[in-house]
Amino acid sequence: MNENIGFISTRFAGTDGVSLESAKWAKVLWDYEHRSFWYAGRLDRSPDTSYCVPEAYFENPENVWINDRIWGKTFRNPLVSHRIRDVAEYLKTTLYEYVNKYDLRILIIQNALTIPMHVPLGIAITEFLAETRIPAIAHHHDFYWERVRFSVNAISDYLDLAFPPRDPELQHVVINQAAREELSWRKGVSSELIPNVFDFETPPPSPDEYTKDLRADLGFAEDDIIILQPTRIVPRKGIEHSIKLLEALNNPRMKLVISHSAGDEGYEYKSMLEELARDSGIELRFIDDRIGEIRQVDTEGNKTYTLWDLYPFVDFVTYPSLYEGFGNAFLEAIYFRLPILINRYSIFARDIEPKGFRVPLMDGYLTRQVVDDVRRLLGDEAYRRSAVEHNYAVATKFFSYSVLRRSLRTLITNIKGLEQL
């Protein structure tokens, strides 16, 4: 029996983890002829299946006003409580309209009951589920207790109520084992573990006419060795380790390329990296102005490429993160058959490393052995090919769409009592 399924979040747009993973879920559900519809404050999905409510976006001015008064505070003004309740009531009416408009039978809440970027929306969803008893799945990517910035707050009552709620009929999904245990301990609810996935059964696209001159267009020489750091410029990404790696490799042809922008947490970290690169004699390239969510050409004829356009021209990936909820960039590197350096952040060490990937691993600092392994992966073609093909096979087994397909079948069967999707 096919169902109309509604996805709900503050944003479904761009290349953030929530937007990407929800699209993968929708693709697998579509394969089973379930139709997906989208509710958010910012959307880049098809207008025919989208229900945009600007007030649901976490950067909506009203929500920014609320956030400024609840985080880093230990006291909440009564006016703030009234504003939270008013916005939540309004958003709840839009949820009723959304469900009725598309005749939705199942809801999938994407991180909106997990990280409290939009407290009124979390309250609205919680109350809507309590009032309607519509079957729902809450897909949790990163909880508030995993972020220091949420540790001091004036809304402990709302966090207990809605992030996530203790609804006995709400099915919970987490992306790593640590989150599963914390959720059980803090909220007393069980959850299904579904890791982030990639379509490893379908090989990545090859370069085409649009990207054939990418290297030269981005200012790289033919013999440059492109070392990619495919992350935002924030301290937890550990980019200083990537600079130190290139310093140890001591090859002037190597260029460290950072694909994403700074600004989410200020620009001091970027300035530090620039200074460190200068002192280390490393050429550091920022190309976020040329990497976007879609291909496009500006009025001066400059092309914007996607990250996936860039990967086929990359020689090595660095991912020395201090913390990640899972690690989509790791799977992307494996998908494009690229060798990758990993710092053993806790989720990798517990959930990914035991699967048997062959990658250079640092444990908070670079060793001579790690540097030598990276050098061999860059210089020994047979060794490199053996490693990346092995990693692709491991990822296909543990992190492919087939894993997601089995898990979603179980979740939907639990909800509907169906024998099959």
Does 371 lie in the same domain as 255?
A: yes
Does 320 lie in the same domain as 410?
A: no
pLDDT of residue 1: 60
Distances (CA, A) of 148 to 57, 145, 178, 393: 22, 7, 17, 37
Q: Residue 15: what are its φ and ψ, rounded to 5°?
A: -115, 20
Closest to 154 in 3D by CA, of 188, 198, 184, 116: 116
pLDDT of residue 265: 66
Contact 188, 149 (CB under 8 A): no
Is 207 a member of any domain?
Answer: no
Number of Cβ within 10 Å of residue 366's Cβ equals 20
Contact 393, 358 (CB under 8 A): no
Contact 331, 353 (CB under 8 A): no
Number of Cβ within 10 Å of residue 336's Cβ equals 20
**Per-residue pLDDT tens listing for the chain (421 residues):** 678 999 999 999 877 888 889 999 999 998 878 999 999 999 999 999 999 999 999 999 999 999 999 999 999 999 999 999 999 999 999 999 999 999 999 999 999 999 999 999 999 999 999 999 999 999 999 999 998 889 999 999 999 999 999 998 899 999 999 999 999 999 999 999 999 999 999 999 889 999 999 999 999 999 999 999 999 898 999 999 999 999 999 999 999 999 988 766 678 999 999 999 999 999 999 999 899 888 998 888 889 999 999 999 999 999 999 988 888 899 999 999 999 999 999 999 999 999 999 999 999 999 999 999 999 999 999 999 999 999 999 999 999 999 999 999 889 888 876 434 4
CATH of the domain at 72: 3.40.50.2000
Is 90 a member of any domain?
Answer: yes
- How far is the C-alpha of 269 from the C-alpha of 131, rounded, in Å? 46
Is 148 a member of any domain?
Answer: yes
Does 157 lie in the same domain as 259?
A: no
Does 176 lie in the same domain as 322?
A: no
Does 296 lie in the same domain as 168?
A: no
Does 167 lie in the same domain as 114?
A: yes
Q: What is the pTM of this model?
A: 0.87
Is 421 a member of any domain?
Answer: no
Q: Which domain holds residue 331?
A: 214-397
Does 286 lie in the same domain as 174?
A: no
Q: Residue 91: what are its φ and ψ, rounded to 5°?
A: -65, -35
Is 263 a member of any domain?
Answer: yes
Does 243 lie in the same domain as 127?
A: no
Does 409 lie in the same domain as 311?
A: no
Does 408 lie in the same domain as 351?
A: no
Does 155 lie in the same domain as 21?
A: yes
In total, how many domains does the chain have?
2
What secondary structure, in 3-state letters, does the chain show? CCCEEEEECCEECCCCHHHHHHHHHHHHHHHCCCEEEEEECEECCCHHHEEECHHHCCCCHHHHHHHHCCECCCCCCHHHHHHHHHHHHHHHHHHHHHHHHHCCCEEEEECCCCCCCCHHHHHHHHHHHHHHCCCEEEECCCCHHHCHHHCCECCHHHHHHHCCCCCCCEEEEECCHHHHHHHHHHHCCCCEECCCCECCCCCCCCCCCCCCCHHHHCCCCCCCEEEEECCCCCHHHCHHHHHHHHHHHCCCCEEEEECCCCEECECHHHHHHHHHHHHHCCEEEECCCCECCCCEECCCCCEEECHHHHHHHCCEEEECCCCCCCCHHHHHHHHCCCCEEEECCHHHHHHHHHHCCCCCEECCCCCHHHHHHHHHHHHCHHHHHHHHHHHHHHHHHHCEHHHHHHHHHHHHHHHHCCCCC
Is 204 a member of any domain?
Answer: no
Distances (CA, A) of 193 to 167, 196, 410: 18, 10, 12
Edge-first strand order for the sheet with 254-258 is: 283-286, 254-258, 225-229, 316-319, 340-343, 361-362
Does 153 lie in the same domain as 93?
A: yes
Is 310 a member of any domain?
Answer: yes
